[in-house]
């Protein structure tokens, strides 16, 4: 499998920061969609995000949750993924993604906040420094607006699922943690996350697998520890979600 990008990934609750470089060729990523809001920042070189019949570029682009899109670029780029049900995610939606599910900005609060990532890349920050910078950027974005958070029971169900990804995670068990019936929990969860519970758990498993892969696990090890049936299931899910095979990326947390 040819490597189309390599770099570092920093993960924390409800967000992750990917710093990817590809100096030798133009990377093209097929149409895909994922649960996280995606902020894309050019660090060196240029990129284009394709959404429907429009092409986006600029200091920063934001693409909403579950919005199908493509990527084409070269050089180095930062991807900041933010859970849409988090405080920062809801603030981003309220401030930037209400009129339509994508935006490109060359100036303004959004561009100013993520502009710090370009400065950090120029200073060659360590992974830990980048993680702290990513967390500060997400915190700053959360101040743009102060939307209501999801129902606490939905957040508790997410936490319960996240703590059990190496095993079986079911809606009835998660609903029981917050004293809801299965039917009521299913409706409440979809209302606040815009996803069925089962699909959300698959997204959490993928997040966990990506983190493990970046730590040095093989795809097979990452798949098993994140609760996938096998590495083929992980690979199919990764490609459908991010538009390219997991093996095409070389990720580290160093």
Question: Would you state the pLDDT for residue 51?
Answer: 94
Average pLDDT over residues 105-128: 87
Question: Would you state the pLDDT for residue 107?
Answer: 86
pLDDT digits (tens, 9 = 90+) for 31-58: 999 999 999 999 988 899 999 889 999 8
Domain spans of the chain?
Answer: 5-148, 152-242
Question: Would you state the pLDDT for residue 3?
Answer: 62
**Considering only 14-28, 159-173, 179-193, 232-246, which range has the smallest mean pLDDT?**
14-28
- Name beta bridge partners: 10: 17
Judge residue 170's burial from the number of C-beta atoms within 10 Å of its C-beta, 0-12 exposed, 13-18 middle, 19 or more buried.
middle
Position 23 confidence tier, pLDDT thresholds 50, 70, 90: low
Judge residue 119's burial from the number of C-beta atoms within 10 Å of its C-beta, 0-12 exposed, 13-18 middle, 19 or more buried.
exposed
Judge residue 229's burial from the number of C-beta atoms within 10 Å of its C-beta, 0-12 exposed, 13-18 middle, 19 or more buried.
exposed
Tell me the angle at which helices 87-96 and 127-142 cross, rounded to the nearest 10 degrees: 60
Residues 6+ apart with CB under 8 A from 124: none
CATH superfamily of the 5-148 domain: Jelly Rolls (2.60.120.10)
Q: What is the CATH number of domain 152-242?
A: 1.10.10.60
pLDDT digits (tens, 9 = 90+) for 151-194: 999 999 999 999 999 889 999 999 999 999 999 999 999 999 98
């Amino acid at each position: 499998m040819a490597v189309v990008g390599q770099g570092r990934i920093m993960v924390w609750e409800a967000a992750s920061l990917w710093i990817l470089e590809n100096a030798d060729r133009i990377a093209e990523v097929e149409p895909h969609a994922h649960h996280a809001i995606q902020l894309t920042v050019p660090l060196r070189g240029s990129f284009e995000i394709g959404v429907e019949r429009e092409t986006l570029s600029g200091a920063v682009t934001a693409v909403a949750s579950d919005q199908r899109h493509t990527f084409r670029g070269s050089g180095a780029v930062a991807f900041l993924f933010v859970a849409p049900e988090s405080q920062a995610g809801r603030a981003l939606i309220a401030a930037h993604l209400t009129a339509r599910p994508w935006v490109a900005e060359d100036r303004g609060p959004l561009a100013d906040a993520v502009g710090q990532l370009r400065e950090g890349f120029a200073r060659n920050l360590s992974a830990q420094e980048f993680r702290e910078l990513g967390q500060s950027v997400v915190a700053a974005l959360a101040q743009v607006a102060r939307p209501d958070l999801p129902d606490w029971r939905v957040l508790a169900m997410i936490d319960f699922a996240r703590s059990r990804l190496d095993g079986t995670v079911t809606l009835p068990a998660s609903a029981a943690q917050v004293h809801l019936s299965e039917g009521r929990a299913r409706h409440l969860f979809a209302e606040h996350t815009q996803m069925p519970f089962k699909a959300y758990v698959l997204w959490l498993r993928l997040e966990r697998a990506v983190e493990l892969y970046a730590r040095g696990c093989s795809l097979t090890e990452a798949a098993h520890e994140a609760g996938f049936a096998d590495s083929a299931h992980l690979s199919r899910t990764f490609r459908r979600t991010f538009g390219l095979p997991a093996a095409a990326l070389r990720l580290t947390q160093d």
